[in-house]
Structure 1
Amino acid sequence: MLEGSTLATLATILLMAVTTYLTRIIGYVALRDRTLSPRMRAVMENVPGCVLISVIAPAFVSRNPADLAALAITLFAATRLSLLPTVVIGVAATGILRHLFG
């Protein structure tokens, strides 16, 4: 059976994934028959990244070594990879490092 904190963590990860996915889908559905300006197109392409930043921003002020190491790994991945692999690597790194460091 899952502990309360583990269940909350899994729920948070799931809700982050759904939120990121929904920002793309809702934008597509709402704007599919419209011609967007280049500026609006850039805004729509960056919405999922903004959601991700709002989730990981608190790690910048963390004193937990696992969170800081995972943040460094995620930032490195973000400079090399697209959004989805970066999210997967960030989540995996955080989970593994928190498990190892306690």
Structure 2
Amino acid sequence: MSDMSSFIASPWGAALAIAAMTLVTFLCRIGGVVLMSHVRITPRVERGLRALPGSIILATILPVALDNGWPAIVALGAAIAVMATTRIDLLGLAAGLGTLSIIRALL
């Protein structure tokens, strides 16, 4: 084994990888702050920023739900309905998971 591969396989290699990932994460986060400090916040930009978390969640979850068929789509609909009416995230999560569990138990 060469010196570089033995270093990478050692605990120091893992520590270096974690430190590098920490640095990259920090730079990404601070980069967003620096970039947004140069953007004028108009009402239109503010509406877009307020909608962004929901859009990210939908873009992440919807393909998974579509791949898993109608039971996942029904469970996602139940979770959205409960969260929209109660505004309690954990209750929506429980409704979605409970709905999916019931559907899968019946099939």
TM-score (normalizing by structure 2):
0.45
Question: What TM-score, normalized to structure 1?
Answer: 0.46
The structure, 1 or 2, with the larger RCO (C-alpha pairs under 8 Å, 6+ apart) is: 1
Larger Rg: 2
